[in-house]
Structure 1
Amino acid sequence: MFGWLPYAGIAAVLIGIAIAFTKWLGDEWTWINRKIIHFSIVPAIVMFYFGKIPAEVFSASAFVFGLFQLWPHIKKREFSWYQIEHNYGEVFFAFSASVVPLVLPKEYATALLLAMAISDGVTGVVRHYYFRRHGFNVKLKKHWTGSLAYLITALAIALAFLDGDAIRKMMWAGLLTLAEYQPWLDDNLAVPLVGSLLFILY
């Protein structure tokens, strides 16, 4: 009945290690730290895909993690090494990740979760180093270099996990890239929303 417990425990420990590591890196690496934590959810996604962590457990865990990250914002005591005042992206990410496995089939949910974790993480790292190299404020800027990285990784994920022809997979990756880049809605909400709507293609 509780065969998933060791796997959920391993996933939680890996996320905890990532948070501890980013704290060690410090405030100077805030934007990179946020992406490292994004990457740290990948083992949990893989365990979900292979049936080691049930959708309900994955969802509940992500929801609790979202509450854990929301509380410092409410108290105005953000974890300064990866949280940014008035930016709730990491909270939206966790809450979105809690909904996706409950409303979408496992294979499709896995692809979307991986895009949220890996593609978003890669694009953030690429943009960080681009702007750092050019002397700009890296915290809240977007650039085509990051979007290109997003498109490439999202396409690789689509090819690996989604059914359908290459055109639909390219369309999926391209529309998620646009959802990530658009300036009106936080990408941690926009990507899962657009990705969920795109399920009709599959």
Structure 2
Amino acid sequence: MPAPSVRPRRRPRTRVAGATLLAAVLPLLACSGNPSATSPGPPLTSGSPPAPAGTHTASPTRTLDGNTVMNLRLTIDGQQIDAVLNDSATARDFATLLPLTLDLSDFQQTERIAYLSRKLDTSGAPEVSHPQAGDLAYYAPWGNLALFHRDGPRSPGLIILGRVTSADTASAIERLATADRVTIETA
């Protein structure tokens, strides 16, 4: 009886295909931008060299969720408050006016308002916003900036530009409630 021929064993194609798929997908998962991922991911700054001490730049910052914001400094009665602008068209247009100093007045014991030198671009803005204490907003029908020290009602024509981010946000919002003048500049 002749000896049975022995065929060389081939690796199953599924292992090769699986390994190829895994090699292709792993780099994508590592770059997913998921803030809960264990790798630190890309740096949060724009990559610009740091500005010399005492100067202010309008460099945007990328947050962990991938949004772009611009850091601001509000000065009220000599005290600084940190804030950020979001990446909306209206916020970017507002940033072109900076630095600026505004006289504030109370509106409905909820917000301090000041009229800007010109109307801002409102393209792509939501029709209605629900402001919260600490929000910086633009009321398009009147052309004014609003700094909220209390939560406000849903407002058609109100566009949220950013918000207070100071370490002691509650104290910063209290200062907004009585502010008569504010200087806003990039940080």
What TM-score do the two structures reach when normalised by structure 1?
0.31
- The answer to which structure has the higher strand fraction is 2
What TM-score do the two structures reach when normalised by structure 2?
0.33
- The answer to which structure has the higher helix fraction is 1
